[in-house]
Structures are given as C-alpha cells and as structure tokens.
Structure 1
Amino acid sequence: MELILWIIAVILVVAGIFQLFKGKLLWGIVLIIVGLLVGPGGVSIFT
C-alpha cells in the first residue's frame, strides 16, 4: 500500500511541475500539494 501511494504521489508532483512549466500556475500548485499529501501524509495516515 505504501509503495502505491508513493508512486501516485510522485506522478502527481511531476504532473504539477509540468503544469507549472506550461504556465498553469494554480493547477500545478494544486497537483504538487495533493501529491505531497498523498505521499508522506497519505502513508502516515494509512499506516
């Protein structure tokens, strides 16, 4: 379960960074924040 959450978190953060480079600042920040919540935060919540 932890590995799956970390993979999802990495994908979200990378997608957020790509959105920032495309100029979609708000969407990029949202994706990065959700990725950080799913990764370290999600792992600590679910375990």
Structure 2
Amino acid sequence: MRELSTAIDHLAIEDPSEIPRAQLAEQLIELHWQMARLQAQIARRTAVRVF
C-alpha cells in the first residue's frame, strides 16, 4: 500500500498544465485503467465475509 500512496503523491506534485497533450492523453488512459483495477480490488475485499 505504501507504493500506491507514493505513486499518488508523485502524481499530486505534477502540474498537468505542463505535460504535453499527447503524454497527458496517454497518462489519462493509463490512470483510468489503473483506477478500474484498483476498484476491482476494493470490490474483492468488500465482498470478503468473516465468519
């Protein structure tokens, strides 16, 4: 989880207005892909039942 937090921190310090449009588009696609993967893992863990 620390690596995920660090990656988000790195994104937070970037200024998107300074990123070239083509690179920004690639980043947006990748971020959406990674967000979907993260949401899937959240759903998996939410579905776990403790007996």
TM-score, normalised relative to structure 1: 0.46
Q: Which has the larger radius of gyration?
A: 2
Tell which has more relative contact order, 1 or 2 (C-alpha 8 A, sep 6+).
Answer: 1
TM-score, normalised relative to structure 2: 0.43
Give the number of the structure whose residues are more often helix, by fraction: 1
